[in-house]
Structure 1
């Protein structure tokens, strides 16, 4: 990718070297918590670890509001600075799109972490992969995921990595537009199968929005080099539910899909990439996913 003239986002929060927030200190549990856990076990038959885990998650959720200011990654950290530039590119694109439609874009923060980190959505874990938390409007990513993307999922390339970031920012766009809330409310009233189907539509729309970013960013600054679009398409395919299920459990269960099949993910990313129009990303009003 050609990002030499792309400004880095200032909305990077680097927690990789150790995080300290209000009430949360490197995962330490106070003596009071342990005492409470033992009391709960004795009088109510509750597993002490249940109380400790719950307290840890509550502390983690509250601590995100007392964190240090966002900071840029170190100058010699090429991977982190790449992420900062991609995030900066998404900011420029979505600010323009929102402005064109009479809206104001609120920039998300992107948190770099290692292992685990507290979020407003509970304790985030590296094993979850990159994710977006609407409660604090942050994208979370452990950069080791890019190694997994390259080695485990056979999806190398900078534009493949950029697609992952743009997909999570797509969830932020959905949150700002109220789409996420509508979907989550509908899921609460639905069966498990219906809730999964709604999740698929939400994820495919985020794929399409990632494509919209790619189209507009390239039109503005010619960031995509020959062959790189195929990198993103390959990444979208490799993390399709059907391929992931076949790889991990040896069989495919469509009714359990939550992100969409490889073909669906490729189709919707291409739709956004080819059109550059977020209005083409309405996955909720079509039967042809």
Structure 2
């Protein structure tokens, strides 16, 4: 994927070593958490997601409620572009810039304001407003501090252990977490968590799956909006990554059998399907995982 002409994001922090949260990428597979006149297609689509989510999730409770402030935890060194201080981080920071521009444009079409997330680099473990997590959980997004947390050693594991190689596989990981950020800004994550508190675990897990698959679809929307930057093999890299971290595949590898009732991120096939839907449509409105019966 060609991103060399993007400046690294200014919304970056280096948390150092030993320095986690909800909405993880799903490396372990067991992390539950979550029309206006004159608008362009992207704006109408986002408002459509709001309306559908409102009907499905809240029953009138107000889907635009924010998730609060919070502070990033202890540790920390360089900030801004200075935190993008390795080739892997440099690429991640350019992906962040691309997502910021893409989602800012879609939000503006909808008459909304997009607030960029902060990418927090760490090694080994990190503390966020969501608590502490080791790098074993993989990349994750913390709604209260609106931060993406990434130990870039995950990219090596993604390539070596799961066979998902290439820069677009890495970009998909980050774009998925930004998908959770979009859900947070729209209030969808709050509504899912509220509903989960009222449901038994299996039903709550299904809502987590729908939240995760929508984030996959949003990652595809971002890629489609930047289609002129894709290179040969990029889409295949993304599909390989999506398949590698499906709940069914991870459970089969880790415990030798599959327990669908415990799925929180979706099967490999589902994750590929929703990523592909975003890629093929470039339309956030095509990412309504909450109103469809079949995922």
Q: TM-score, normalised by structure 1?
A: 0.81
The partner residue of 1:142 within 128, 134, 151 is 151
Name the residue aligned to 1:10.
10
**Cα deviation, residue 4, structure 1:** 1.7
Q: Is the 8 A contact 1:73 1:80 kept in 2?
A: no
CA distance in 2, matches of 1:75, 1:161: 15
How far does residue 7 in structure 1 lie from its aligned partner after superposition? 2.0
The 5-angstrom pairing of residues 57-68 of structure 1 reads 64=73
Give the equivalent residue in structure 2 for 1:195. 204
1:86 aligns with 2:95: yes
Q: Could you say which structure has the greater relative contact order, defined with CA pairs below 8 angstroms and 6 or more residues apart?
A: 2
Q: Secondary structure at the match of 1:285?
A: coil
Which of residues 280, 285, 288 is equivalent to 1:282? 288
Measure the CA separation in 2 of the matches of 1:89 and 1:62. 25
User: What CA distance in whole angstroms lies between the structure 2 residues aligned with 1:196 and 1:161?
Assistant: 26
1:3 to partner: Cα distance: 1.2
The answer to whether 1:111 aligns with 2:120 is yes
1:239 matched residue in structure 2: 245
The structural deviation recorded for 1:73 is 4.0
Give the secondary structure class of the aligned counterpart of 1:123: strand
Judged with a 3 Å threshold, the aligned counterparts in structure 2 of structure 1 residues 17 and 122 are, in CA distance, closer, same or farther, namely: closer
CA shift at 1:124, angstroms?
2.4
Distance 1:99 1:264 in 2: 30
TM-score calculated relative to the size of structure 2: 0.79
Number of residue equivalences: 245
**CA distance in structure 1 between the partners assigned to 2:127 and 2:272 by the alignment:** 32
C-alpha spacing 1:146/1:100, structure 2 compared with 1 (3 Å) = same
2:176 is equivalent to residue 170 of structure 1: no
Which runs of structure 2 are paired with 1:234-273 in the superposition (5 Å)? 234-273=240-279
CA drift at 1:198: 0.5
Q: Which of the two has greater helix per residue?
A: 1
Match of 2:41 in 1: none
Distance in 2 (CA, whole Å) between partners of 1:183 and 1:281 is 16
Q: Is the 8 A contact 1:14 1:72 kept in 2?
A: no
User: Cα offset for 1:70?
Assistant: 2.7
Q: Structure 1's 196 and 17: CA in aligned 2 closer, same or farther, altered over 3 A?
A: closer
Query: How far off is 1:173 after superposition?
Result: 0.1
Q: Which has the larger radius of gyration?
A: 1
Alpha-carbon distance, 1:16 to partner: 2.4
Q: 1:65 to 1:177 in 2, by over 3 A?
A: farther
RMSD (Å) for aligned C-alpha atoms: 1.8
Q: Is the 8 A contact 2:205 2:264 kept in 1?
A: yes
The runs of 4+ residues in structure 1 deviating greater than 3 Å are: 65-69, 73-76
